[in-house]
Amino acid sequence: MALDLETREQLIDTVARFVAERLRPIEAKVAEDDAVPAEVIEEMKALGLFGLSIPEEYGGLGLGMEDEALVAIELGRASPAFRSVFGTNVGIGSQGLVMFGDDAQKAKWLPGVASGEVITSFALTEPEAGSDSGAVQTRATLDGDAYVLNGAKRYITNAGKASLFTVMARTNPDVKGGGGVSAFLVPRDLPGLSVSKPEKKMGQQGAHIHDVTFDNVRVPVENRLGAEGEGFKVAMQVLDRGRLHIAAVCVGVAERLIADCVAYASERKQFGQPIANFQLIQAMIADSKTEALAARALVLETARKRDAGVGVTLEAAASKLFASEMVGKVADRAVQIFGGAGYVADYGIERLYRDVRIFRIYEGTSQIQQLIVARETLKQGG
């Protein structure tokens, strides 16, 4: 549901102040401790950030895609690790349930997801199934009133804290590709489900990814999302929205980096004048600003299309491709503008440089987005 203009502005202003006053001042500490403070997470819950995309009847804010994108842009102005705390509840961890869940499933889980009491996680990626998401090997074998899950998932965001997983598993081994895959709601406390220690990562300290193993985990039949064989459909529709959300976050990070570059270049002096006076510095700022504006326009136009009920598989992939590549270039230029100061930890530029690298990988790599854009363009005839 789209917010009226006044309510939207109030929400954006509240999130912007939270980012500026609470999140940005503790970025370095979160990176050093590799943890977001519990009191900050409680404030996120109070603000309704865990339920941005959850329908109002289940306690969420029920934002439309454009409103969610605008909020994500504001959240992108702080270290991405903060957004990751509730990102799976807003996106890939919950949207399969929102889009495909039956009334009983929604009533059981969505109120807790919206409040942040229930942390969700999306378990698709496997050691041999990353970009080739149809190559899922985790098995779900029907046995009476339950499916028995066996297999392992890799690099699963928020798995360490999740109490509910949306798991993609192969129910029909005779069907190749995505057609034999089904989606399941798997509670954390089921016997046989285990989560590894968090992986050490290049960036986004404070956000954690884990391996998840299923060893004869019995999942009740009523926990299947949609019909058998619809898991790939669930995953792809969830990822359409998730890609737009990530693209919006990329825009926010880029806008923050540009503002930091302008402030630094206006103060830093070389050859007797601010480096902002030098045309080669101006060129990097101009390129960054132009690309960020283009990404913002593409993301918001696509979000409005989705809100209008138009299919946006092509546009969502294009948004994620352009915005994630864009923010990588902006971060690289920021290091260059800051010079030595950009390479050391004091200013946080090197941290953001590392943080944004993952955006070109998860929710589908840039190369997968290119394939989608090309496929859909050819299908549409241009």
Neighbours of 2 (CB within 10 A): 14
The sign one gets for the Cα dihedral 20, 22, 23, 29 is: positive
Q: What share of the chain is helix, strand, coil (3-state, %, to 5)?
A: 60, 15, 25
Q: What is the DSSP letter of 174?
A: T
Largest CA distance in the chain: 79
- Considering only CA atoms, which of 228, 295, 298 is closest in space to residue 258? 295
C-alpha to C-alpha distance for 337 and 353, rounded to whole angstroms: 13
| CA 162 centroid distance within chain | 15
Active site residue 267: no
Neighbours of 218 (CB within 10 A): 14
User: Which member of 27, 42, 363, 376 is catalytic?
Assistant: 363
Q: Cα dist. 354→61, 202, 320 in Å?
A: 32, 6, 18
Helix (H) or strand (E) holding 153: strand 146-157
Q: What is the DSSP letter of 340?
A: H
Q: Which residues are catalytic?
A: 363
